[in-house]
Amino acid sequence: MAIRHFLSTQDWSRTELDALLARAAQFKRNKLGDDLKGKSIALLFFNPSMRTRTSFELGAFQLGGHAVVLQPGKDAWPIEFELGTVMDGETEEHIAEVARVLSRYVDLIAVRAFPKFKDWAVDRQDHVIHSFAKYAAVPVINMETITHPMQELAHILALQQHFGTTVPGSSPAQALRGKKYVLTWTYHPKPLNTAVANSALQIATRYGMDVTLLCPTPEYALDRRYLDFAKQNVAENGGSFAISHDVDAAYRGADIVYAKSWGALPYFGNWEAERPIREAHKHFMVDERKMALTNNGVFSHCLPLRRNVKATDAVMDSPACIAIDEAENRLHVQKAVMAALARDPGLGTRDS
Ligand code: CP
């Protein structure tokens, strides 16, 4: 049987994503179930986490399953991912054994593996999670690599639930069509992963919104793969996609402002050269003046968020901020994904 992994929402049809979101909404109303009774998931963290680890562990527990957390290189052996390597360095075992052994123990494997931030041409191959998918005999779930699909689902559910209840008569699937969505870069003292920005771009265009990617300069545009996904999604689902460097024009009339910081790809591995550009754009912080330009818009962020660097206290504490709802939804959407993959590891093939 072919195994169906959850590495990117782009591999899943709108029908399938809508079904997962509907199931997540049910879990939000009734949190307990037996969908994972007698089943287990290995959660492999190559990078830190608060929300992802907590929500996956609790989600498995609430569905009657068990989660095992492993941090390779810390509490588990460091893993080799290259083929044909003479393993006389720091790594103790090869992904070929790790993924195969875990597949004999657990029903699902989830992986968090951020880029190494030295060479984007290498990082964009997403080698770690694809290696798990290659050798595992059970479904592999992306807990954030160069995209963050679980955050995407949580984000869309939060938006659907906000706009579905504020626009009379609209169904969740229709609630976001035609909304003006701004994905804004924000300052951060360090160059961060593009994963959430890539994800926001692909899921917002998937749900028929008019999407603007607001960033300081053309160098902060995202990888061509995700720009192409955005264009493909617009062609298939309606809406629009544009890149802007004009802060006020982008915010004006927006229904949704989603913020994220990321490092400029042309400077990957040469971050000292990027620093002056980043430092010159601290004014991209989401504040009350910018939010006042919106159409009574909502604000969200994947968290963690540095207050008064990425967004002001006033924005974070305002009724417009739905970041906590989005974070809560991580629990519900991940339960929907785990339940679906554990029930049917093949899950058919993509239908659109
Ligand atoms: N948003 C998110 O993935 O949070 P953590 O990094 O805390 O898991």
Q: Which ligand 1 atom is the nearest neighbour of the CA of 148?
A: 3
Tell me if 324 CB under 6 Å of ligand 1.
Answer: no
Instruction: Check: CB of residue 160 under 8 Å from CB of residue 176.
Output: yes
Q: Which ligand 1 atom is the nearest neighbour of the CA of 48?
A: 6
Structure tokens at 28: 């939000």
Mutate to test the pocket of ligand 1, among 69, 145, 302 (most ligand atoms within 8 A of CB): 302
The highest-level CATH class for domain 9-147+329-343 is: alpha beta
Tokens 């620093």 sit at which residue?
A: 275
Whose C-alpha lies nearest to ligand 1, atom 3?
Answer: 52
- What is the structure's pLDDT at 79? 98
Whose C-alpha lies nearest to ligand 1, atom 4?
Answer: 51
Q: Where are the domains of the chain?
A: 9-147+329-343, 150-327
To the question of domain 150-327 being in CATH 3.40.50.1370, the answer is yes
Amino acid identity for residue 38 in this structure: G
Mutate to test the pocket of ligand 1, among 303, 310, 325, 326 (most ligand atoms within 8 A of CB): 303
Tell me if 50 CB under 6 Å of ligand 1.
Answer: yes
Q: How many CA atoms lie within 13 A of 124 on its CB side?
A: 12
Instruction: Check: CB of residue 86 under 8 Å from CB of residue 80.
Output: no
Dihedral pair phi/psi, residue 256, rounded to 5° = -140, 130
Tell me if 302 CB under 6 Å of ligand 1.
Answer: yes
Give me the tens of pLDDT residue by residue for the chain, a chain 352 residues long: 789 999 999 999 999 999 999 999 999 999 999 999 999 999 999 999 999 999 999 999 999 999 999 999 999 999 999 999 999 999 999 999 999 999 999 999 999 999 999 999 999 999 999 999 999 999 999 999 999 999 999 999 999 999 986 555 667 778 899 999 999 999 999 999 999 999 999 999 999 999 999 999 999 999 999 999 999 999 999 999 999 999 999 999 999 999 999 999 999 999 999 999 999 999 999 999 999 999 999 999 999 999 999 999 999 999 999 999 999 999 999 999 999 999 988 875 444 3
Q: Exposure pattern of 302-323 as b/e (b: 16+ CB <10 Å)? A: beebeeeebbbeebbeeebbbb
Mutate to test the pocket of ligand 1, among 46, 49, 262 (most ligand atoms within 8 A of CB): 49
Q: Are domains 9-147+329-343 and 150-327 of this chain identical in fold?
A: yes
pTM for the structure as a whole? 0.96
- What is the structure's pLDDT at 348? 58
Dihedral pair phi/psi, residue 318, rounded to 5° = -85, 160
Q: How many CA atoms lie within 13 A of 156 on its CB side?
A: 31
> What is the three-class DSSP state of 58?
helix
